[in-house]
């Protein structure tokens, strides 16, 4: 198997090359087959890797020396262990489903081949990110996914706003990337190597510098995984086509930060301060994004803030040292959030491009499969018992409880908010009466098979995925913890008491029932439709404006930089630099004006000049 | 009897100065050209004198070259003056002051 590992990233890259270079001349089915087929091939190979890791343990496949300088050798090498195979399965598995879905969703788009080329490039980069055996290769993939994210957010580049959103995502990510890059420099400076194995082996010898390294790496994770203060790009990233939102901005790329921290858990275990920071940032992000999510009226924006909030959850888990729990939530979140996004894509498709939930309603009849699968996703993310989100979220809550009561309480409140905004979304979209135009009502239709099959598969995964990590009161065998144990050997394991788990189970059932009833009562029985943004007042106005964070950033960062640019343009460039150049030419011009008076057109004067010159030469020759 | 070399030098110098003064002071373009010829020929005279003085024929051969070049130069110069005369109806160089900034 080890000698076939290189094919896993190579196949999507080939797909990218073919579709990118000649895709324009190929018929659409061929383009889609190439794109889906290569990802499917990677998925099958990933399963084989997974099997080998289970049977024989982790291994590293070295391809060749990439960079050799002095004693430093940076290799192109793939580290196939429990963590990377898990990520590979998520990326290629969900990636394949979303490729399939895109075939239906993007079918009428002119940029069909371009879209699939970018998607394949994304899969390639993401695989490099998780498979690389050193920070350099990971950084390569990290930048690659950032690029693909930019390309795909701005996929419909003729719309100026979408292009701006793409730039925003790219720039926000660059800020984080700088932190990551500095972190990698620090690692190289401290350990003299950026191979995972070398770094983690020597980590205990350099305990004092891990704190700063961890914080710098976390800055990178903040950017990629949309944490405060760098989260504002993710809601704007919804400008991209919906399959992109599902694949990149929900299931895979945004979890790269989680992967980074889990991969470096040896360092994080030794730096409690950095872990504490991660926890608080995650907590704040989870809460703030959830409160914003309640007031959003764009179906994809709600899901985007939900993603930010769920990523916050994962970071809380990382902060309290529950690395496997974070991975568990990453896995279940990948299932149900991809499902929800694809479901929303199906809704948007059926509504002919409409994204405003105030103009939907009652879609249950027209889109039965989408409705059922979306409901399953909602139940899963809200944490309804025995759906996947329930297991992973309760595990995070339990871990937070083991850490501190305040964190637990705030997280619990956030999960209540999660349930509220998700059921608000569900009821407004699928129940009640249709509020769209007559034209939209006539054209409502269920999506084609290529779109509904991924929904059904993801719905099954979102339902059953949680049983990979059953809590102590259900089963002694937490499959995922057991599987990931070799990666996080150093992490402490906290086991919540059974009493606590029963309490949280019963309380969550009651609370969820109340929420569902209350939300249904508010939006269906009373049939209240959210007001337009202008009509909001008080705190809800602040929420619907997303705490004015974009405006604050605008004032604090964008405006001063723009003012500086104007200053550099108007004063430094136009006045000083141009003044210098123009001044020189002015001097030349003035002296030329002076000297041209000598040429007065009178022949005698020219003659006098010549004779005087000759005489001067003679005088110099004979008398000087 | 042999004329001493100093006399030749003196004569050439006088001729050359006449030519220079003519170029500087006269206004008629044709006279200007003639003065240039005087200057050239004073040099020719000097060259021939030195050639004899040193017993070297190279100087006299050079005189022929100069005369050929001078003839060509005069031909061009006179042609120019003819064209100027056709345009200006005069050969007074003080009126040819258009060739300036």
What are B2-14's pLDDT values in tens digits? 788 999 999 999 9
Q: Say whether pLDDT at A599 is over 90.
A: no
Residue A500's CB is within 10 A of a number of other CB atoms, namely 16
The residue count for chain A: 624
Residue A76 or residue A471, greater confidence = A76
pLDDT of the residue at A124 = 94
pTM of the full predicted structure?
0.80
CA distance B20 to chain A (A): 8
With CA atoms as reference, the chain B residue closest to A594 would be: B101
Cβ of B35 under 8 Å from any chain A Cβ? no
- With CB atoms and an 8 Å threshold, state whether B101 touches A608: no
pLDDT of the residue at A619 = 93
Rounded to whole angstroms, how far apart are CA atoms A191 and A204? 11
Q: Say whether pLDDT at A388 is over 80.
A: yes
- With CB atoms and an 8 Å threshold, state whether B97 touches A600: yes
| Contacts with B24 from chain A: Cβ below 8 Å | 604, 607-608, 611
CA distance A162 to chain B (A): 59
CA distance A597 to chain B (A): 8
ipTM (interface pTM) = 0.74
* Bond before A229 cis per omega within 30 degrees: yes
Residue A107: in which H helix or E strand, if any?
A: none
- With CB atoms and an 8 Å threshold, state whether A596 touches B101: yes
CB pairs under 8 A between A and B: 26
Angle formed at CA A430 by CA A390 and CA A240, multiple of 5 degrees: 80
Rounded to whole angstroms, how far apart are CA atoms A122 and A151? 10
Cβ of A601 under 8 Å from any chain B Cβ? yes
Residue A290 Rama label (left phi>0; alpha psi -120 to 50; beta) = alpha
* A242-273 per-position pLDDT tens digit: 999 999 888 889 999 999 999 999 889 888 88
- With CB atoms and an 8 Å threshold, state whether A608 touches B24: yes
Cβ of A598 under 8 Å from any chain B Cβ? no
With CA atoms as reference, the chain A residue closest to B95 would be: A602
* A395-410 per-position pLDDT tens digit: 888 888 888 889 999 9
SS3 B2: coil
Cβ of B32 under 8 Å from any chain A Cβ? yes
pLDDT of the residue at A64 = 85
- With CB atoms and an 8 Å threshold, state whether B97 touches A611: no
| Contacts with A606 from chain B: Cβ below 8 Å | none
Cβ of B18 under 8 Å from any chain A Cβ? no
Rounded to whole angstroms, how far apart are CA atoms B27 and B47? 29
- Percent pLDDT > 90 in chain A is 47
CA distance B93 to chain A (A): 7
Among A88-92, A195-199, A475-479, B18-22, the least confident range: A475-479
- Structure tokens, A273: 């301060």
CB A94 within 8 A of CB A334: yes
SS3 A532: coil
pLDDT of the residue at B101 = 55
Hey, what CATH class is B27-91 in?
Answer: mainly alpha
By Cβ distance, the residue of A599, A607, A611 closest to B100 is: A599
* A138-159 per-position pLDDT tens digit: 999 999 999 999 999 999 988 8
CA distance A602 to chain B (A): 6
- With CB atoms and an 8 Å threshold, state whether A601 touches B96: yes
What percentage of chain B's residues is helix, strand, coil (to nearest 5)? 80, 0, 20
With CA atoms as reference, the chain B residue closest to A614 would be: B20
CB B27 within 8 A of CB B71: no
| Contacts with A607 from chain B: Cβ below 8 Å | 23-24
Angle formed at CA A576 by CA A572 and CA A582, multiple of 5 degrees: 135
Rounded to whole angstroms, how far apart are CA atoms A116 and A121? 8
Residues 6+ apart with CB under 8 A from A100: A36, A450, A453, A454
Domain ranges of chain B: 27-91
Rounded to whole angstroms, how far apart are CA atoms A38 and A92? 10
User: Beta A72-80 vs A59-69: how paired, if at all?
Assistant: antiparallel
Rounded to whole angstroms, how far apart are CA atoms A429 and A427? 5
| Contacts with A601 from chain B: Cβ below 8 Å | 96-100
- Distances, alpha carbon A325 to alpha carbons A177, A187, A221, A612, in Å: 25, 26, 18, 99
By Cβ distance, the residue of A596, A603, A608 closest to B96 is: A603
Residue A353 Rama label (left phi>0; alpha psi -120 to 50; beta) = left
Cβ of A70 under 8 Å from any chain B Cβ? no
């Amino acid at each position: 198997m080890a000698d076939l590992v290189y094919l896993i990233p190579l196949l999507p890259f080939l797909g990218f090359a073919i579709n990118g270079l000649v895709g324009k001349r190929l018929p659409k089915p061929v383009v889609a087959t190439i794109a889906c087929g290569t990802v499917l091939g990677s998925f099958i190979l990933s399963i084989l890797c997974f099997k080998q890791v289970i049977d024989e343990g982790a291994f590293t496949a070295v391809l060749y020396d990439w960079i050799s300088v002095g004693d430093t050798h940076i290799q192109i090498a793939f580290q196939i262990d429990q963590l990377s195979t898990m990520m590979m399965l998520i990326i290629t598995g969900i990636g394949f489903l979303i490729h399939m879905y895109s075939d239906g969703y993007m079918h009428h788009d002119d940029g069909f081949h371009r879209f699939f080329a970018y998607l394949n490039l994304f899969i390639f980069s993401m695989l490099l990110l998780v498979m690389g055996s050193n920070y350099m290769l990971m950084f390569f993939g990290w930048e690659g996914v950032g690029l693909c994210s930019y390309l795909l957010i701005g996929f419909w580049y003729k719309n100026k706003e979408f292009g701006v959103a793409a730039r925003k995502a790219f720039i926000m990510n660059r800020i984080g990337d700088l932190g990551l890059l500095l972190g990698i420099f620090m690692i190289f400076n401290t350990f003299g190597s950026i191979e995972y194995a070398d770094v983690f082996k020597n980590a205990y010898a350099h305990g004092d510098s891990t704190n700063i390294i961890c914080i710098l790496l976390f800055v990178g994770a903040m950017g990629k995984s949309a944490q405060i203060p760098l989260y504002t790009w993710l809601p704007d990233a919804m400008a991209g086509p919906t399959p992109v939102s599902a694949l990149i901005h929900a299931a895979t790329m945004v979890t790269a930060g989680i992967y980074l921290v889990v991969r470096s858990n040896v360092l994080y275990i030794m730096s409690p301060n950095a872990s504490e920071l991660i926890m608080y940032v995650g907590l704040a992000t989870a809460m703030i994004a959830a409160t914003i999510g309640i007031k959003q009226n764009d179906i994809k924006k709600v899901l985007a803030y939900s993603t930010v909030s769920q990523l916050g959850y994962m970071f809380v888990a990382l902060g309290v040292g529950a690395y496997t729990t974070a991975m568990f939530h990453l896995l279940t979140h990948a299932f149900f959030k991809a499902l929800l996004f694809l479901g929303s894509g199906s809704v948007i498709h059926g509504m002919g491009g409409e994204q405003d939930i105030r103009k939907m309603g009652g879609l249950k009849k027209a889109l039965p499969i989408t409705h059922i699968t979306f409901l399953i996703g909602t139940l899963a993310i809200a944490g309804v018992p025995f759906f996947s989100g329930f297991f992973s979220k309760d595990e995070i809550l339990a871990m937070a409880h083991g850490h501190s009561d305040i964190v637990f309480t705030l997280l619990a409140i956030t999960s209540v908010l999660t349930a509220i905004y998700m059921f608000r979304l569900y009821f407004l979209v699928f129940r009640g009466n249709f509020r769209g135009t007559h034209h939209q009502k006539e054209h409502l239709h269920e999506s084609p098979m290529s779109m509904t099959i991924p929904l059904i598969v993801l719905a099954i995964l979102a339902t059953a995925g949680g049983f990979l990590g059953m809590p102590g009161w259900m089963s002694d065998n937490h499959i995922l913890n057991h599987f990931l144990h070799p990666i996080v050997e150093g992490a402490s394991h906290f086991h919540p008491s059974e009493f606590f788990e029963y309490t949280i189970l019963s309380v969550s059932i009651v609370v969820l029932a109340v929420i569902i009833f209350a939300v249904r009562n508010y939006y269906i029985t009373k049939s209240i439709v959210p007001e337009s943004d202008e009509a909001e007042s008080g705190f809800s106005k602040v929420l619907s404006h997303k705490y004015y964070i974009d405006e604050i950033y605008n004032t604090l960062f964008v405006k001063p930089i723009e003012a500086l640019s104007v200053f550099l343009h108007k004063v430094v460039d136009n006045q000083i630099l141009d003044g210098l150049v123009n001044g020189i030419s002015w001097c030349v011009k003035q002296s030329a004006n002076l000297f041209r008076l000598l040429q007065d057109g009178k022949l005698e004067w020219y003659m006098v000049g010549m004779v005087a010159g000759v005489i001067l030469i003679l005088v110099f020759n004979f008398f000087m | 009897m042999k004329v001493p070399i100093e006399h030749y030098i003196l004569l050439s110098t006088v001729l050359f100065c006449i030519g220079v003064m003519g170029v500087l002071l006269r206004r008629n373009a044709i006279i200007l050209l003639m003065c240039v010829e005087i200057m050239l020929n004073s040099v020719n005279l000097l060259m021939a004198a030195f050639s004899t003085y040193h017993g070297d024929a190279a100087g006299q051969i050079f005189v022929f070259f100069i005369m050929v070049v001078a003839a060509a130069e005069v031909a061009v110069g006179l042609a120019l003056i003819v064209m100027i005369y056709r345009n200006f109806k005069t050969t007074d160089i003080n009126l040819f002051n258009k060739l300036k900034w």
